[in-house]
Structure 1
Amino acid sequence: MDVPSPHARFLGDTLPRIRQDARVAGVALTGSIAEGDPDVYADVDLVLVVDDDAYDAVLRQRLALIGSWTSLVTGFTGEHVGEPRLIIALVGPPLLHVDVKFVRVSDFGTRTSDPEILWDRDGRLARALAEQPPAAAPLDLQWIEDRFWVWVHYGATKLGRGELFETIGFLAYLRETVLGPLAARRVGAAPRGVRRLETIAPEEARELRATLCGDDRRAAGRALLAAVDLYRRWSDPGDPTIERRRHAEELAVDYLHEIIARDC
């Protein structure tokens, strides 16, 4: 496993300390390091697998435990990304971003991809992976279609009000939630927002540049129209399994054009 030297030093120093806690059944690694594509800017994504009967107690002590294993600068829980089991931390110096997810042994097998097991106290981690294959949830195109035209109307209202920072932020949301995942899907990659699109989907990434803008009303309008165009082309328009919200699309896009035409 090819690991940048700061990350390797962190793992070499920290793993022996984690192993001293008898409640921890094992440690696994996910993310770009486990996938074999790390660089010096990569996070360290750890999964701490804890005995079921000790899990609640360990969860209450997470920050203190991490501070006993490494030089913790600061950390917080991951509710904002929908993962309350996660601690997002900076350690060091030198500063290193480390994500530590605490899971029960009984939950370890439930996963979207296979992690790299770094240490397995009694073989339970390996058995869990062998007994249950990974199951990545597919991108839900119907979920997106049901929402997209409401979002387009929302962005148009922000543009019409002159809230350009809101409009710029909204465009970023569309790239993260809709266009980035669709771009990744087009090249057979896992949909993960806009992460590494420049590398995994360079043609789509170039097209996404049309959705960027500064604090200029006309440029923001063009970027919104570009987002609509990309969605229409990238969302499998001929897929008969997707119920298209044509009436909502027509009304929302007409409204967007009306807003753009004002003061022009």
Structure 2
Amino acid sequence: LEAGLGGRLDATNVVNQILTVITPISFDHTHILGKKIYQIAREKSAVIKNRNPTVSAPQHLYAMRVIRNSAKKHKSPLYVLGKDAKFSIKRLTLNATEIYYRGIRIKGTLKSFLPGKFQAKNMALAALSLEVLGFEKFDFKKARIEGRFEILMNHPLLVVDGAHNTLSIKSSLESMNRTGGKNFSLIFGINKDKEVRKIVKLIISVNPSYVYITKADTPRAMLPHEIESIFLNYGFSRVKSFSKVSEALRAALSRENKILVTGSFYLAGEVKSLSEKIIASNT
């Protein structure tokens, strides 16, 4: 089970789990979880409520302090990636991610067909979690996650990633740079409750060829012209807003060779549905 929002008050927190896994904590849903990293960590670490083990990704110092205190309070053994298990990236391509993993008992190469630099850390965290549960034989070659750095087309290259906070969008941009190559364009749309200005600065820092701004079909989405004005205020002019996702996608596909769609799972879902129709019409 994955907590939908935070942890302390999330519906999934009614279960009495055999293992708790805490992924990297960053700023998201701050109007509910708190504006400080330790406040968000406190909400998330509240899922630790028994003596069963806890596994954590590397965290901000303040977040890790909260997690350690919560684990200690509930007498939950804590295992941390980077301390109890380590990994290094062997290969990153648009088709696969390969790491060298050195865990509690297992050492060797692990491979998945999920692209994206962030999937290397995810795979190592999953491996540590499985080891803590007592598994010694496992692989990730059949793992599949829709909407997370998912390749929808190859010519032109069209990648969708539902990344929607500062940390995940940074990872998505890094992954596109490293596996897809530089000089890519973006189709971007985001919800109003996100750190939009910080995320826009991140996007500008990778110097995309062009940014096609649009909005998913949800009342939470920020209006495209409002996002465009933020880009323009920061001095980035290779940008245009579209009222419909279909219009933004059509414009990008007609002009670009490499496109990353990011900012919202709502947006990723719409683009995925539209691209399937385009592929079907061309076959």
TM interval, shorter chain, is under 0.3
Q: TM-score, normalised by structure 2?
A: 0.25
- The structure with the larger Rg is 1
Q: TM-score, normalised by structure 1?
A: 0.26
